[in-house]
Amino acid sequence: MKDLLCDEFQNTVSELLIRHQSILDVLSKLQEASARTNRAVTKAVTNCGCIKINAEKKQIPGNISIAELKQFVDSHLNGQICANCEEIIEAEIGRTLFYLAALCNHLDLNLYDAFIKEHKKLSTLRFFNLT
């Protein structure tokens, strides 16, 4: 069922993508959408203040395993994103997904297949897939 939803989304993008038919347009719009997502998260910190960033160098012991590493790192985020910022960030992520699907369409790739392949790789390699 989920693959049908992803395929339907990708087909809808194909139907709706009218202005940006060039692969160069799609690539630049994908990059712009990603930058807008970054900016929306930044504004949640700097304008709204619903979340805060508290980042500093972590002291990580040299003798720990990769599995134990997660105990010594975090997202550096404090607070809870407010409903307004959540709405804006989700909209920007949606726009990013739109152009990602458009890129897949131009390259005759299936977005769901890419998702599944990445999921299988992550499931198989687990911690050894640190990218």
- For the cut 60, the answer to whether the pLDDT of residue 131 exceeds it is no
- For the cut 70, the answer to whether the pLDDT of residue 6 exceeds it is yes
Q: Is the dihedral of CA 105, 110, 114, 34 positive or negative?
A: positive
* pLDDT (0 to 100) of residue 61: 86
Residue range 102-109: mean pLDDT, rounded: 96
* pLDDT (0 to 100) of residue 122: 86
* pLDDT (0 to 100) of residue 17: 86
For the stretch 38-79, pLDDT in tens is 999 999 999 999 999 998 888 888 888 877 887 878 889 999
Residue range 94-104: mean pLDDT, rounded: 97
The CATH number of residue 117's host domain is 1.10.287.1080
Is 75 part of any domain? yes
* pLDDT (0 to 100) of residue 19: 81
- Structural domain boundaries, residue 54: 2-126
- Pure H helices in 17-82: 23-43, 66-69
Q: What is the Cα–Cα distance from 10 to 108, expressed in whole angstroms?
A: 11
Average pLDDT along the chain: 90
- For the cut 80, the answer to whether the pLDDT of residue 129 exceeds it is no
Residue range 100-111: mean pLDDT, rounded: 96
Q: What is the Cα–Cα distance from 38 to 47, expressed in whole angstroms?
A: 14
Number of domains within the chain: 1
Is 117 part of any domain? yes
Is 131 part of any domain? no
Is 27 part of any domain? yes
* pLDDT (0 to 100) of residue 22: 93
Q: What is the Cα–Cα distance from 9 to 94, expressed in whole angstroms?
A: 11
* pLDDT (0 to 100) of residue 33: 97
User: 55-91: b or e for each residue (b if 16 or more CB lie within 10 Å)?
Assistant: eeeeeeeeeeeeeeeeeeeeeeeeeebeeebeebbee
